[in-house]
Amino acid sequence: MSAKVIDGTAFAAQVREKVATHVAGLKEVHGITPGLAVVLVGEDPASQVYVRAKGKQTVEVGMASFEHRLDAATSEAVLLDLIARLNADPAVHGILVQLPLPAHLDEDLVINAIDPAKDVDGFHISNVGLLATGQKAMVPCTPLGCLMMLRAHHGSLSGLEAVVIGRSNIVGKPMAQLLLGDSCTVTIAHSRTRDLPEVVRRADIVVAAVGRPQMVPGDWIKPGATVIDVGINRLPPAEEGAKGRLVGDCDYDSCAAVAGAITPVPGGVGPMTIACLLANTVTACCRAHGVPEPEGLTA
């Protein structure tokens, strides 16, 4: 069997198109332009790339982008003051503080200072609680993107066995909550799980979010299962000076030989994450103004 490839790049383009259509409608009918503020503290190269991509895509779908780049030595007080101003700014519907923050800043404190209604990353404890209790929340972008692709592939997820490998607050835990919300039977596996291969073998849906290159081989996968590979890992370069190849947490070739469907790395979950950030921003904007939300862009 050769798995169907779930094309995250194409799917993300569809999500962005839906967002752009809704944004155009908001402008035309209500005179509202959704706005996303991204805050970057310091000069982490990977974060700079992400922030640039987020700003570019925000503008491309017709939303306003506000970028705030702060020095690595910025104090907590200055950062909290900026967040308070963004919370109060009616042109800003979504606020994202790019993580990781420099070590002297308390990430939990900073994230929880964001107005939960503008918390488009879905990391504020209020949104975590709303998601856990099945209420309307802002949902973390990466798991939301995974859920959208799973729903599109399976239709209903009800009753399916899902195994999420990884228990981070950003991916693993919210992913498990979302799958539970769609009535899957959910197992969260992690670094202390006993006999991980056996746990994974019972899954109709495997979501791997570990950060270990190619750790899931094809012989852990139940024939026909759907594999969602969240991991982004760079292999050591083949030759000096070159860049190593990007791979996921799953061994693509052996998993694709057994699975029913699989997301590639790159081109799977990655592109969906920013698309879902845009989706969350338009959703937050609609909720703030009490106008109908776009369909199919939330959990």
* Percentages (nearest 5) of helix, strand, coil residues in the chain: 45, 15, 40
Residues 70, 82 contacting (CB under 8 angstroms): yes
Report the residue number, 51 or 170, with the smaller CB distance to ligand NAD: 170
The DSSP bridge partners found for residue 91 are none
Pick the catalytic residue from 18, 57, 98, 249: 98
3-state secondary structure of 48: helix
Q: Which of 273, 280, 281, 298 binds ligand NAD (CB under 6 A)?
A: 273
Q: Which range, of 113-121, 191-199, 219-227, 282-290, touches ligand NAD by CB under 6 A?
A: 191-199
In the complex, minimum distance from the CB of residue 146 to ligand NAD, in angstroms, rounded to a whole number: 9
Q: Is 167 in the site for ligand NAD (CB under 6 A)?
A: yes
- DSSP assignment letter at 117: G
Q: Is 128 in the site for ligand NAD (CB under 6 A)?
A: no
Integer Cα distance of 90 and 13 in angstroms: 28
Pick the catalytic residue from 118, 119, 121, 182: 121
| Residue 27 designated active-site | no
In the complex, minimum distance from the CB of residue 123 to ligand NAD, in angstroms, rounded to a whole number: 12
Q: Is 168 in the site for ligand NAD (CB under 6 A)?
A: yes
From the list 63, 85, 34, 83, the residue with the least C-alpha distance to 287 is 34
Taken in order 106, 36, 54, 231, the sign of the CA dihedral is positive
Q: Which of 39, 82, 232, 279 binds ligand NAD (CB under 6 A)?
A: 232
Q: Is 269 in the site for ligand NAD (CB under 6 A)?
A: yes
Q: Are strands 161-165 and 226-229 parallel, antiparallel or unpaired?
A: unpaired
| Interacting residue ranges for ligand NAD, rule: CB under 6 A | 142, 165-168, 170-172, 189-191, 193, 196, 209-212, 230-233, 269-270, 273
